[in-house]
Structure 1
Amino acid sequence: MSETKTEQQTTEKTENKKKEVQEEENKEIQIDLDKIHPLLPEIIEKQATINIGTIGHVSHGKTTVVKAISGVHTIKFRKELIRNITIKLGYANAKIYCCDNKECPRPGCYKSFGSGTPPTVPCPRKDCGGTLRLMRHISFTDCPGHDVLMSTMINGTAVMDAAFLLIAANEPCPQSQSQEHLAAVEIMKLKNIIVLQNKMDLIKKSAGIEHYEQIKKFLKNTTAEGSPIIPISAIKGHNIDVVNEYIVKKIPIPRRNFKSPPRLVVIRSFDINKPGCRIAQLKGGVAGGALLQGILKLNQEIEIRPGIVTNRGGKIKCLAIRSRIVSLRAEQNELKYAVPGGLIGIGTTIDPTLCRGDRLVGKVIGNPNSLPDVYCEIEINYLLLSRLLGVKASEGSKGFTEVENLKRGEKLMVNVGSTSTAGSIISVKNDLAKIGLDTLVCTMVGERVAINRRIKKHWRLIGWGRITRGQKVRITKLRK
């Protein structure tokens, strides 16, 4: 009898403890929205609040400079490692510090470490005695530089607050994708650009000065005109402290909207369960992206659009997915809430097969019934580039290839937010075009889109547009 009583007491204690844990998890996280700021110490200690993209021609050192600043090598996939190039968007977080000793000479007083570093660390300079204090916590979006991956690069611009334009000093400037990438960030209205003149260790001083003049000529009459040009050697770490100083002093803190309903664009998704995992141990899918506005909290109910799309006999159905946030993470840092800025990972209760292999890329996460509409057809007010970038002109031409106007029935690739989708032109009139989309997009009137045309077997950037209206798809609810 006594043994049975003891077992019952043990069971009751276990159940009570589970209830306490559940109540603690369900307790709503309170945040004072009037006091919150992107540089609040309790925020930047754990989460990046500024997102910097690395853009430029293939093999000009984008991934290397990210590693020099953050310590993280963004090339992780097997195909990328074999070819030693970035294929998918790469991500890394870094913390930028400054020594509080005014006698500590600049730019060496600026240091960078990984995102797991504490908010204060001793200054590594001998006889300094100062303390390095956290100034910025940033996320990097490392874009591929190969011409066939231009669409992936444009998707990355959807989450950028600023960009590093990498230009290799041992090659003539500009190279084709340097032109194309700069045009892409101009289209997306990205103004904060720092130019990094990389691989300076491979050339003589006189060649470096000549190359510097080539860069200035290239940047003239672009959004990057007047931007800082910093000579560096990313592989040797030369002048990385100067880059850190410019991040702190030249990249302004973006204005954030904390009070609007949250909206996160998904740029990665995956299944974290290992093969052979037992059913009881299965975890929901994970989505990664950047929060554009609002705040996401642990245990919050969320909706994902467009969700699951079916097309039976030309009848399109869109099932929005309802879920709950079970974890929030910025690299290795666990979060109770996430603010706009850096890249975050969201653990959900969604069936992991729906997240496997980036299946959620291009979708939008937010509060239930608060997300933008879903469209199967959009009408845009467009503007085309005067000439093609990154394409050699044919013989007998004016030295460049002109961009032909859009034609009815033509197949295009359009980038809407973090979504890349093919589409067919239904009609064209003056500077208006109606495009039927192969993939549904969650967007809104006024959002910018990039337009790409198939040229010489590759999609090439030819212009941009702004959504004026479109054909909406009815949303039905599905809980997962």
Structure 2
Amino acid sequence: EDAPIIPISGQHAVGVEPLLWAMEKFIPTPPHDLTKPFRMPILRSFDVNPPGTPGDKIRGGVIGGAIIQGVVRVGDEIEIAPGVKVDGSGKYESLVTEVVNIRAGGRNVEEAKSGGLTGIETKLDPALTKSDGMIGNMAGSPGTLPPTRYTLSLEYDLFEYVVGVQEKIKVNPISVKEPLVLNVYSAVTSGVVTKRSGDRIEVALRRPVVAMDGDKVSISRMIGSAWRLIGYGRIVG
């Protein structure tokens, strides 16, 4: 409602500057603190080695994402959490590796900071990063990442109607033992509600997430044969 309408043609490069001005005016770029420790939710991960690459030519795994604070440089040591599952324990162990190369803006750079997408080549075993295997992890300066959480306590709000369906379906209250899907940064995890009191729930997660108190979470439930967005929450413990 009352949103500005800006004529634009990307093909003819007309109206681009007014569009950028309006975006900055109505959706301001959030402040980025370069003095804080490096932190980046991982959105993609790759194995860049073609089949048949000789062992002495294999390059380490690549992770990609959007840096949310701090600066990362070639040669830095970084930590990735939750990391990998420890056999049989149900617990996860973070990974520590070194930055070998950084790619941003279509070129190799010595350092990267907030703004745009960044690809980071590491010394990780590429078997860990192939086929987006590291999506949902958080990369950051060692010892500075948020805690790994196996349960989430949320203050939540539900929408009036389910999002993503053609018909109007009212959102019913969340119930104990109900399965939910939660999105936290780039992580998508499922869990079961173990407690509910007023506008708070506690969810036991199938896969842990790395997050701080106050971080936002989207909440989905199974509607028909698909997970649909029904509300959002804020981590309180």
Tell me the TM-score range normalised by the shorter chain. over 0.9
Q: Which residue of 1 aligns with 2:169?
A: 401
Aligned match for 2:203, one of 406, 431, 435: 435
Distance (whole Å) between structure 1 residues aligned to residue 128 and residue 17 of structure 2: 39
1:344 and 2:118 aligned? yes
- In structure 2, relative to structure 1, the CA distance for the partners of 1:392 and 1:245 (3 Å cut) is closer
- In structure 2, relative to structure 1, the CA distance for the partners of 1:233 and 1:335 (3 Å cut) is closer
Aligned match for 1:241, one of 14, 18, 23: 14
Which of the two has greater helix per residue?
Answer: 1
Which of the two has greater strand per residue?
Answer: 2
1:451 and 2:219 aligned? yes
Distance (whole Å) between structure 2 residues aligned to residue 310 and residue 268 of structure 1: 22
Aligned match for 1:265, one of 41, 44, 57: 41
Distance (whole Å) between structure 2 residues aligned to residue 232 and residue 349 of structure 1: 44
Q: Which residue of 1 aligns with 2:50?
A: 274
1:323 and 2:91 aligned? no
Instruction: Report the alpha carbon displacement of residue 232 of structure 1 after superposing the two structures with TM.
Output: 4.8
- In structure 2, relative to structure 1, the CA distance for the partners of 1:245 and 1:230 (3 Å cut) is closer
Distance (whole Å) between structure 2 residues aligned to residue 453 and residue 288 of structure 1: 29
Contact map agreement 2:100 2:123 (CA 8 A) in 1: yes
Q: Which residue of 2 aligns with 1:301?
A: 77
Question: Percent identity among equivalent residues?
Answer: 35
TM-score normalised by the chain length of structure 2: 0.93
Instruction: Report the alpha carbon displacement of residue 390 of structure 1 after superposing the two structures with TM.
Output: 3.0
Distance (whole Å) between structure 2 residues aligned to residue 336 and residue 317 of structure 1: 35
Contact map agreement 1:230 1:243 (CA 8 A) in 2: no
Give the 3-state SS of the residue equivalent to 1:293 in structure 2.
coil
Distance (whole Å) between structure 1 residues aligned to residue 139 and residue 39 of structure 2: 6
Contact map agreement 2:6 2:19 (CA 8 A) in 1: no
Equivalent AA in structure 2 for residue 245 of structure 1: P
Deviation >6 Å, runs of 4+: none
Distance (whole Å) between structure 1 residues aligned to residue 92 and residue 133 of structure 2: 15
Give the 3-state SS of the residue equivalent to 1:401 in structure 2.
coil
Contact map agreement 2:148 2:209 (CA 8 A) in 1: yes
Distance (whole Å) between structure 1 residues aligned to residue 23 and residue 201 of structure 2: 39
1:335 and 2:102 aligned? no
Give the 3-state SS of the residue equivalent to 1:280 in structure 2.
helix
How many residue pairs align between the two structures? Answer: 234
TM-score normalised by the chain length of structure 1: 0.47
Q: Which residue of 2 aligns with 1:410?
A: 178
Structure 1 residue runs of 5 or longer lacking an equivalent are 1-219, 221-225, 394-399, 470-480
Structure 2 residue runs of 5 or longer lacking an equivalent are none
Contact map agreement 2:220 2:231 (CA 8 A) in 1: yes
Instruction: Report the alpha carbon displacement of residue 422 of structure 1 after superposing the two structures with TM.
Output: 1.0
Give the 3-state SS of the residue equivalent to 1:388 in structure 2.
strand
Instruction: Report the alpha carbon displacement of residue 299 of structure 1 after superposing the two structures with TM.
Output: 0.3
1:366-385 Cα offsets, whole Å, 9 max, x none, are: 11111111011111000000
Instruction: Report the alpha carbon displacement of residue 231 of structure 1 after superposing the two structures with TM.
Output: 4.1
Distance (whole Å) between structure 1 residues aligned to residue 156 and residue 213 of structure 2: 14
**Which structure has the larger Rg over C-alpha atoms?**
1
